[in-house]
Structure 1
Amino acid sequence: MIRFDFQMPDVDAVLREAMAEVEKDLTEKVRPAAVPFGGVAVKVEREADGTLKTINLQGTEAAIEAAQAALNC
């Protein structure tokens, strides 16, 4: 008799990985758009369950506007 035992990943672990991927994608969009204006620092705050709460952008006003425009595309 052949027996297979599959273990599904933990839901919290999957959520953390998904949010990390979203954070990475956001950062990859924002930084190149803001570089001509001095660049931005991206800071992400998370909820207790690991979901994204806020994204803070620090830099010149023009760089932040360019970063926001890149996010809205």
Structure 2
Amino acid sequence: SKSDANNANLIPYSSNFTTPLTGWTLMNWGATDRKLSVTTHTFYHNGTGALLYLNTAQNGTAAAGSNRFPLSPNTT
């Protein structure tokens, strides 16, 4: 219902990140030193909100993805 959805992020695993990262994984290609972690930054909620941090020191691709989730067309 609408009251259940107020102030809720309806896309699974897209906020309130914790360690270990539930619903996220590194892709098994690209930079060999790639790392995916949870961190904070002063620009986001004054440093109190958790963010995903995907990092590599190499000149290569680092990619991560979330689990797939079902969507129903023409619904709210």
Give yes or no for TM over 0.5.
no
TM-score using structure 2 length: 0.33
Select the structure that is richer in helix.
1
> TM-score, normalization: structure 1?
0.34
Considering only CA atoms, is the larger Rg found in Structure 1 or Structure 2?
1
